[in-house]
Amino acid sequence: MRVCVALLVVLALGACGRESATAPDATVLPDKVYQWKLVTTWPKNLPALGTAPERLAKEVELMSNGRLKIRVFGAGELVPAMEVFDAVSQGNAEMGHGAAYYWRGKLASAEFFATVPFGMNAQEMNGWLHYGGGLELWQEAYAPFNLIPLAAGNSGVQMAGWFNKEINSLEDLKGLKMRIPGLGGEVLKRAGGEPVTLPGGEIFTALQTGVIDATEWVGPYNDLALGLHTVAKYYYYPGWHEPGPTLEAIINKDAWESLPPDLQAMVKAAARTVNDDMLAEFTVRNASALKTLIYDHGVQVRRLPDDVIERLREVSAEVLAETGKVDPLTTRVYESYTAFAKSAREYHALSEQAYLEIRD
């Protein structure tokens, strides 16, 4: 009898232990759900550029099991395209998506984190940013604005743009009103043109009504979606002004620091995924879209004349060197960028470039 009683006591205590171990703790709160707004410089759902932030938001929500929900707003839905930087800086939105060269009026170094004329391509930009110290300089440049930047997309080498007249010589650039942002616009200006800065949503109408004579945008995939082939006759290459344009995700620092480390890691991973995925998408879609433009719409593809390219190259070197002297931080960015570009160019002469030459 004593043995039976002892056994019952042991079993009862064991059951209590198991119950206490599995019972919910009333002091443990459910996971907090964060609700963020993401504003972009792109028209809503524009292929690749506009869908990239949408994918980023979906990736984060999926990885976080719904703990971080990000609502995406296209250009003009919450703030105008060119006010994305300020909106995120001031905390009116937690995130933004755009291109750093749009903010050259706020900090000179911004250009280098997007693209520069005759500069690095997408592969080289990714190398510099993620393994060559570029991202750390980018974060330092944006810190005074209460922003944290991440690479979040790249279109690869772009087209030189759409023109309503043929470009046969340097003389044809004089007085040419062209939508072209960043350092490319400054180069065009010194070559005799008149650069105009417009968000993507205003380009078609400006070209259609003659407000501008020419425009660069991205490449066949996005240009076809915007219908630019219906308002311009000539499509020029190569894209000297944007050889590897990196797009950015910018995050309000206060919002960033409110996230636990695991959610921060998820946002970084999603941005990296979108950065790689966009380049792959453009590689596929540009090729098929170009065929559509040529064979279905009769677009005339032209190569810029050699003398035009050489003049633009000369002016680009001058503009870059001058920009690199604007302030101490920009000088450090310029020196880092150019040193990495030189090293990459030397190796690629024996690898990527050499292979393309023998392949084609």
**Tens-digit pLDDT profile for residues 237-260:** 999 999 999 999 999 999 999 999
**In this structure, how many other beta carbons lie within 10 angstroms of the beta carbon of residue 56?**
26
Residues 6+ apart with CB under 8 A from 5: none
Residues 6+ apart with CB under 8 A from 168: 305
pLDDT at residue 143 above 90?
Answer: yes
Determine, yes or no, domain membership for 2: no
Check: CB of residue 156 under 8 Å from CB of residue 219: yes
Model confidence, pTM: 0.88
Residue-wise pLDDT for 195-223, tens only, equals 998 998 899 999 999 999 999 999 999 99
Determine, yes or no, domain membership for 45: yes
Distances (CA, A) of 243 to 143, 201, 219, 302, 338: 27, 22, 11, 18, 15
CATH number at residue 63: 3.40.190.170
Percent of the chain with pLDDT over 70: 92
Angle value at C-alpha 310, between 308 and 315, nearest 5 degrees: 95
By C-alpha distance, which of 37, 29, 33, 89 is closest to 259? 33
Determine, yes or no, domain membership for 228: no
Determine, yes or no, domain membership for 22: no
Residue-wise pLDDT for 106-139, tens only, equals 999 999 999 999 999 999 999 999 999 999 999 9
Determine, yes or no, domain membership for 268: yes
Determine, yes or no, domain membership for 345: no
Determine, yes or no, domain membership for 177: no
Give how many domains the chain has, as a whole number.
1
* Band of residue 27 on the pLDDT scale cut at 50, 70, 90: very low
103-107: long-range pairs with CB below 8 Å, 24+: 104/182, 104/183, 106/145, 107/141, 107/145, 107/329, 107/330
Domain range enclosing 39 = 34-156+244-283
Determine, yes or no, domain membership for 261: yes
